[in-house]
Amino acid sequence: MTIAAIIVAAGRGSRAGGALPKQWQMLGPRMVVEHAIAALRPHASRIVVAVHRDDTDRAGRLDDVLVVQGGATRAASVRAALEALAGTDTTGVLIHDAARPFVSTAIIDRVLAAMAVKSGAAPALPVTDALWRGAAGLVSGTADRTGLYRAQTPQGFDYAAILAAHRALSGDAADDVAIARAAGLDVAIVEGEEANFKITHPEDFSRAARMIGEKTVDVRVGNGFDVHAFTVGDGVTLCGVRVAHDRALLGHSDADVGMHALTDAIYGALAEGDIGRHFPPSDPQWKGADSTVFLRHAGARIAERGYRLTQADVTLICERPKIGPHADAMRGTLARILGVETDRISVKATTSERLGFTGREEGIAAMATATLVGGP
């Protein structure tokens, strides 16, 4: 499946208090909506955020997402996001509330696994408390809680099926499960988590702040170094960007010395060896390989291990070619591959003052540092 994620962030959230709608308020170092985006990014090839028309400027701070204007109802906002995905290769979609900042990888994986069997799936928790009916401040009766669940998100669906269900909808609905069921779709229930609560009231912000503070911060730093010699050619690939030059770099793969150093820095932070461990040069399938493959693998391992990349710094050491004119393009390329904001990536260059092999223009060296935060 090619999965897209929709973040519903068009509500006003007035019950939560504060000067801004709850999804745009800060929770630790990030806005609430950014927590939701970060949780879903490793699982989705593209992310669409539906926002209120008054929040368009705030949404411009979000990196690497498609922003669409939501509607007057939740269903209308989701419909707008679904329509924005029309014509893409999307086959499955995860629809998530922006105000649920603590959705776990385990929940998302359970939803995705159920989507492989059913046309829809959603997390929920069984109701365990007694249920009362009330009138005028008094208990007027009880209700049977058997078979009742508290719904959560993300709710996952076959893309074509949920788009058709939304197009057929007349009026509004409580959530996308209700819309799917109205269209005759089966929706599987998967296990939710208490931590995946929706921020609704001011006290929910207090709870969320405590959870942010209680999380164990595990900071890891890795270093990488790589060297490739010059050979006959007409250009080099550095940090994913082709740069014209009167030489080429010699290597088993594409000899992208910057990307190799950064990949090794990430593996180092994870204590998972180096590129050669994961992609042995003795294996002919990696001869001439695009180094993007290596960096994507390292980036995926970050998420799989429960970390996030907070910063990466690459230094290219050479006399020529000049790196400065290409540094921003290199930063953007690395950021896209790793799924992070560009301002978390640094690419710079230095010479060795004509000393050593780089000074003699026999090759290019690169150093990189990667910082990861998270973990158990």
pLDDT, mean over the chain = 93
Q: Is the pLDDT of residue 127 over 90?
A: yes
CA–CA distance from 92 to each of 86, 103, 113, 170 (Å)?
A: 12, 18, 12, 23
Q: Identify which has the larger pLDDT, 352 or 216.
A: 352
Q: Is the pLDDT of residue 214 over 80?
A: no
| Crossing angle between the packed helical segments 292-304 and 257-269, to the nearest 10 degrees | 20
Q: Assign 171 a pLDDT band (cuts: 50, 70, 90).
A: confident
Question: What are the structure tokens assigned to 49, written together?
Answer: 């955020």
State mean pLDDT over 170-192. Answer: 95
Q: Identify which has the larger pLDDT, 283 or 43.
A: 43
State mean pLDDT over 116-131. Answer: 96
User: How many alpha carbons fall within 13 Å on the CB side of residue 310?
Assistant: 16
Q: Which DSSP category does 109 fall into?
A: H
For 322-355, letters b (16+ CB in 10 Å) and e give ebeebbebbbbbbbebbbbeeebbbbebeeeeee
Q: Is the pLDDT of residue 213 over 80?
A: no
Q: Assign 210 a pLDDT band (cuts: 50, 70, 90).
A: confident
State mean pLDDT over 241-253. Answer: 90
Return the closest-CA partner of residue 312 out of 290, 343, 279. 343
pLDDT computed for residue 215 by the predictor: 57
State mean pLDDT over 99-105. Answer: 96
For 264-311, write each residue's pLDDT tens digit: 999 999 999 999 899 988 888 888 788 999 999 999 999 888 889 999
pLDDT computed for residue 376 by the predictor: 45
Q: 0.85 exceeded by the pTM? A: no
Lowest mean pLDDT among 37-41, 275-279, 322-326: 275-279
pLDDT computed for residue 283 by the predictor: 83
Q: Assign 13 a pLDDT band (cuts: 50, 70, 90).
A: confident
Q: Is the pLDDT of residue 232 over 90?
A: yes
pLDDT computed for residue 216 by the predictor: 53
Contacts of 318 (CB under 8 A, 6+ apart): 349, 351, 358, 361, 363, 364, 365
